[in-house]
Amino acid sequence: MDLQNFEEVTREIERICPSDYLSAALDPGRPYDGQPWTDTGERGKTLVQGLTFRDVRDCFVVGCFQASGLPVSEYPKSLYELPWDRMDPLAVFQNMSCEMERRMGIYPNVPSLSEAA
């Protein structure tokens, strides 16, 4: 992939899932106009129910370990010992969201899939 394409992909990822604290991440009224199965689309409209703040924290920890790329047998004893320099923050969030859905009893939170004819 050349630099121009990489920059285009980076801009699109930032548009879909803003990581700039001062941009769209602070606008709770922004539209859910992403792909339907993502947190910026229809799936993202789901209200979190039945979880405590501790549950959400635990889901974050699970998401971190899952995003580490390490096999479970090699998980360190602490979140702080994960290979953060090789981890994707979006993967952490996606894994955390899936774990929250599991604990809410709604995973996978997407319409049933069917094979195309």
Amino acid at 38: T
* Chain segment 38-66, per-residue pLDDT in tens: 888 889 999 999 999 999 999 999 999 99
User: Above 90 in pLDDT, residue 104?
Assistant: yes
**Is 102 within 8 Å of 39 (Cβ atoms)?**
no
In the prediction, which pLDDT does 1 show?
A: 53
CA distance 65 to 53: 19
